[in-house]
Every structure is written in C-alpha cells, then in structure tokens.
C-alpha cells in the first residue's frame, strides 16, 4: 500500500505565521518583508505574541495598520498567550529576549569590571545570555512538540547557535536557527560590486558570529584574491564612502568596517564582523571603557524613540521611515520561509547540525554553513576542512559552546566554569570564576536551574 501524496498540505490560500516576541521593535521591519514578498509567501493569519503588553500594543497597532493597507484579508491577532501563538500555525518565528534589555546590560557590563570585553553574543556576555535563554527556548520547543509538532520553528533568538544546539539536543521539532550576518555580508558585497546578490556564491564556514567566506564565486571565478589586492592598495578613507553615508556617521559602524577589512586583508577571507572581538580585543576593550555606556543602554534609548515614532505612524501623523534591523534580515527570513513552504530548494547560510559539513568539528555540533533549504528543512552543503590559521579559534569556541549548552541545561556550576574558562576571550580561570559568580548573583531570577546550587 503506497502512501497518498495527492493531498500534500495546500498552502496556496496563505500561511499562518506567529511571532514570539512580536512586540519587538524589529517586527515592523519584518512585516515589510512579508509585504515585499506577498506573492511568493502569501499570508493568511499573523499572530503576534509578547509578554510585554505595552510594547505588544504599540507595535501590534502599527502592524495591524500596515497589514490592513498592504495585505488585506490577512487576520492579525495580538496575544499574551503562547499556546495561542503555537496551535494551528505553519510557522512560529521566535525573537525573544529573556530579561529584556536590562538583562543585556548586565551581560555586557559584568565582564568589563574584570577587564574582559562586554558583548551581547560574543564572550562572557553571550555565555550569560545563553544560560538564561536556553531554558525558555527549550520550554518553547517542548510546547511546540506537544501542541503542534508539524509546525516549523524559525529561531533568531540569540545566541542563535547555542539556542539551536539546545533545541536540537532536547526536542525533535522542525527547526532552523538563523542570523542576518551572512545575508548582510552577501548583500553588501553584491551592492559594492553592483551585481545581483544571487550571482554570488559564498563558500562559507564556521559558527554563528564566528565565520568566514573563504571564496566568493562570481560567474565561476573566485573574486576574493583580486578584491583583497584592491582593498590592500586603497586607503580606508577612500573605501568607506562606498558603503554609504550611514557608515561615516557612526564611529562604531566605521570601526567595525575598518576592522572587518583589516581581517580580510590579513586572512584573505571575508570575515563575520564579530571576528573583530577576537582580532582587535584590546582596541575594543579600550573603546568600550571610553564610551562608558553599554550597547544595551544605547539600544534602550533607541528603542524609546522608535516606539514613540511607531505610535505616530499608527496615528497617521507620519510614514514609517526608521525601523530596527535591516531590510536583509526580513528578506532572509521571509525568503527562507518561502523556500520551506513551497519546497523550492534554495541556498541559505543557516545554523544546522554539522553532519560532516566541517570535518574538523564534531558531527552533531551546530555550525553556520550554506545549506539547501526546502520542505525537508536545511540540508548542509560540504564546507570542508578549516584553514589551520583559524581552525584553533573556531574549535576552541565550539568546545566553549558545547559546554555552555550543557551547563545551561543541567544547571551545572562546574560545566559553566569550564565553559567560560575555555573561551578564548577569558584570560584565566580566576577571571572566569569571578565573572561567573557575578552573573549567578545578578541574574539570579533568570537562572532557576542554578539556584539550588548557589543559595
Ligand atoms: C546583528 C546580529 C544580531 C544582533 C544584532 C545586534 O543583527 O546578527 O545577532 O542581535 O546585530 O544589534 P544591536 O543593534 O541590538 O546591537
Ligand atoms: Mn546574529
């Protein structure tokens, strides 16, 4: 008896999509992505779920207005009930921030007290974020497994690689974790070269926020050697304007671009901008000390302005001009969702179980590599062995990530200490212990898995 394939899910009348953390300032930008791609990825229902009622109301009102205008017929629901946002959905997008920006501020400020850089996802900051985010994400995955196992979870909650690893270890749901950085790299290079992004193929390997494009093909030719020569010969001041006005206005963005180009010239491979934290650690530490403000504090101010801007847009006082997150983030998200829904088998760089794609990393480890995305999920392409000049760094961070996931799941102080101690940005076990103890103390309310061991 053969299976009946005549009744494959018909999604032609539109998809049911929910967003956990829907009250985020990023949501309107994401909805614009659905609007831009409404013919490729038609919606039927949109559910925004958030535990912050006020933000949900502000962002949700704007989203309802956008949908009414541009996606007539799509039903929008705002809810504080997670089960409501899970049941019956085709796709559940997840962008939560456990503890909000206040917790991010703690993540970023604690390491600075001990002479270590404070960053949202890299180093101790990302470690702390993982400890408090993983238990919640595991709970969500289990809820999806129980209430709606045929749904897809598309996760971009940070630290995305570690979250992906924890979900993979604890559930069997259909899930892909993503980050916009690879897309940003591809799109900015394409616009720099003035070619359509789909003309470029990125031979890309690594972990989330710790990856390189080792070759970039344009019409069959690797263009990186030539590009490297050009970048080496032209002073940065001449290159910067090519990346647009925005770059010149913001000293942080400018520093990031310069650092990224330096790493490119040094390694011959195009790096994730997050590699600057490893290559220019001292410079970044003094920059962070000098600014005297964490990125979390900057984003808090930015978000306040954005939310009041959103209110004005909802009232019809002005058009939506500023938003959080780039266009590319939304396009990647919606495009990938379309590739899954219509089974089109497109290449996206995503976070997936390795399965031998990078032979120098464990088989089950979550890696960030190009994958074919279709209705069966993300199938990693072979990324190959890593060049030895960066292999050690990536392997060390991979071990740190594995230990961090285990520590977060088990509430193990010992593993947490080993994890931090393994991280290349943490100079000693003494410092690791001090940072860990400070986090366990300041984040006590978000780390129930450690509570019995520390009180
Ligand atoms: C990029 C990264 C995200 C990160 C964000 C931080 O988009 O890929 O993972 O969360 O930057 O931006 P922010 O403005 O919050 O510092
Ligand atoms: Mn990211």
C-alpha 4 – ligand 1 centre gap (Å): 44
- 342 three-class SS: coil
What are the φ and ψ backbone dihedral angles of 230, each rounded to 5 degrees? Answer: -65, -45
pLDDT at 238: 81
Between strands 346-353 and 366-374, the pairing is antiparallel
**What does the block give as tokens for 36?**
């831009």
Looking at ligand 1, which residue's alpha carbon is closest to its atom 10?
158
Kindly list the catalytic residues: 180, 274
Beta strands in 323-435 (DSSP E): 346-353, 366-374, 377-380
Is cis: bond before 437, omega within 30 of 0? no
Q: Is 295 in the pocket of ligand 1 (CB under 6 A)?
A: yes
Mutate to test the pocket of ligand 1, among 100, 179, 250, 253 (most ligand atoms within 8 A of CB): 179
d(CA 332, ligand 1 centre) in Å: 15
Ligand nearest to the CA of 161: 2
CA of 272 to the centre of ligand 2 (A): 10
Q: Please give the Cα distance from 250 to 239 (Å, whole number).
A: 15
Helix/strand/coil for 90: coil
Q: Is 215 annotated as a binding residue?
A: no
pLDDT of residue 298: 96
Please count the CA atoms within 13 angstroms of the CA of 416 that sit on its side-chain side.
Answer: 28
Ligand 1 pocket test: pick from 21, 121, 297, 300 the residue with the most ligand atoms within 8 Å of its Cβ. 121
Report the separation in Å between the CA atom of 1 and the middle of ligand 1, taken as the mean of its atom positions. 51
208 marked ligand binding residue: no
Annotated ligand binding at 179? The verdict is yes
Where helices occur in 268-369 by DSSP H, the ranges are: 276-279, 281-291, 295-314, 327-341
Please give the pLDDT value at position 236. 80
Query: How far are the Cα atoms of 241, 252, 276, 358, 397 from residue 262, in angstroms, in the given order?
Result: 16, 15, 9, 25, 22
Nearest-atom index, ligand 1, CA of 325: 7
CA distance 377 to 382: 16
181 lines ligand 1 (CB under 6 A): yes
Say what the pTM is. 0.95
Sorted by sequence, the CB contacts under 8 Å of residue 364 that are 6+ apart come out as: 168, 353, 354
Angle at 252 between CA 246 and CA 257, to 5 degrees: 70
Interatomic CA distance for residues 323 and 315, integer angstroms: 16
Q: What is the mean pLDDT of each run of 10 residues along the chain (455 residues)?
A: 52 89 96 96 97 98 96 97 98 98 98 98 98 98 98 98 98 97 92 92 98 98 96 84 74 90 96 98 96 95 95 90 83 95 96 98 98 98 98 98 98 98 98 98 97 61
Residues 6+ apart with CB under 8 A from 242: 192
Return the ligand 1 atom nearest residue 324 CA: 14
Q: Would you say the CB of residue 179 lies under 6 angstroms from ligand 1? A: yes
Cβ of 299 closer than 6 Å to ligand 1, yes or no, is yes
pLDDT score, position 251: 84
Burial bucket for residue 455 (CB in 10 Å: 0-12, 13-18, 19+): exposed
Instruction: Show the domains of the chain with their CATH numbers.
Output: 11-180+303-380 (3.40.50.720), 183-292 (3.90.110.10)
Torsion of CA 297, 299, 301, 304, to 10 degrees: -140
CB 108 near ligand 1, within 6 Å: no
H-helix or E-strand spanning residue 205: strand 200-207
| Six token digits for residue 249 | 């206005």
For the Cβ of 158 lying below 6 angstroms from any atom of ligand 1, the answer is yes
259 appears as a binding residue in the annotation: no
Nearest CA owner, ligand 1 atom 13: 299
Residue in the block written with tokens 């390795």? 354
Both tokens of 449, joined, read 């898995």
Q: Tell me, what's the pLDDT at 9?
A: 53
Tokens for 239, please give them.
């290159």
User: Do residues 190 and 154 lie in contact, with contact meaning Cβ atoms separated by under 8 Å?
Assistant: no
């Amino acid at each position: 008896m053969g299976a009946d394939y005549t009744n494959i899910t018909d999604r032609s009348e539109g998809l049911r999509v929910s967003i956990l953390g829907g009250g985020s300032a990023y949501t309107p930008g994401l909805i614009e992505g659905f609007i831009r791609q409404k013919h490729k990825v038609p919606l039927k229902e949109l559910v925004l779920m958030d535990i912050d009622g006020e933000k949900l109301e502000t962002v949700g009102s704007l989203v309802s207005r956008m949908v009414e205008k541009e996606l007539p017929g799509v039903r929008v629901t705002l809810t504080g009930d997670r089960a409501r946002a899970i049941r019956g959905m085709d796709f559940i997008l997840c962008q939560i921030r456990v503890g909000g920006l206040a917790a991010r501020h703690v993540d970023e400020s604690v390491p600075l007290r001990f002479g270590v850089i404070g960053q949202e996802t890299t180093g101790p900051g990302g470690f702390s974020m993982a400890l408090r985010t993983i238990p919640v994400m595991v709970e969500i995955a289990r809820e999806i497994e129980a209430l709606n196992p045929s749904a897809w979870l598309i996760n971009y909650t940070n630290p995305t690689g570690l979250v992906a690893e924890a979900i993979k270890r604890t559930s069997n749901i259909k899930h892909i974790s993503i980050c916009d950085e690879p897309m940003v790299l591809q799109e900015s290079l394409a616009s720099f070269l003035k070619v359509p992004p789909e003309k470029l193929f990125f031979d890309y390997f690594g972990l989330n926020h710790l990856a390189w494009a080792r070759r970039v093909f344009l019409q069959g030719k690797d263009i990186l050697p030539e590009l490297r020569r050009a970048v080496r010969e032209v002073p940065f001041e001449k290159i910067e304007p090519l990346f647009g006005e925005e770059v010149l206005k913001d000293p942080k963005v400018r520093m990031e671009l310069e650092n990224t180009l330096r790493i490119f010239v040094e390694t011959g491979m195009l790096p994730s901008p997050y590699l600057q934290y490893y290559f220019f650690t001292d410079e970044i530490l003094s920059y962070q000390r000098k600014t005297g403000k964490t990125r979390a504090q900057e984003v808090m101010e930015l978000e306040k302005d954005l939310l009041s801007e959103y209110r004005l847009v909802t009232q019809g006082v002005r058009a939506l001009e500023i938003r959080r997150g780039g266009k590319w983030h939304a396009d990647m998200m919606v495009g990938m969702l379309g590739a899954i829904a219509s089974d089109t088998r497109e290449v996206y760089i995503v976070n997936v179980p390795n399965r031998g794609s990078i032979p120098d990393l464990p088989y089950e480890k979550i890696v960030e590599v190009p994958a074919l995305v279709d209705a069966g999920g993300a199938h990693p392409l072979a990324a190959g062995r890593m060049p030895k000049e960066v292999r050690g760094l990536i392997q060390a961070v991979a071990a740190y990530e594995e230990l961090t996931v285990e520590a977060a799941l088990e509430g193990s102080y010992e593993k947490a200490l080993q994890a931090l101690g393994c991280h290349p940005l943490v100079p000693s076990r003494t410092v690791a212990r001090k940072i860990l103890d400070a986090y366990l103390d300041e984040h006590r309310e978000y780390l129930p898995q450690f509570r019995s061991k520390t009180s």
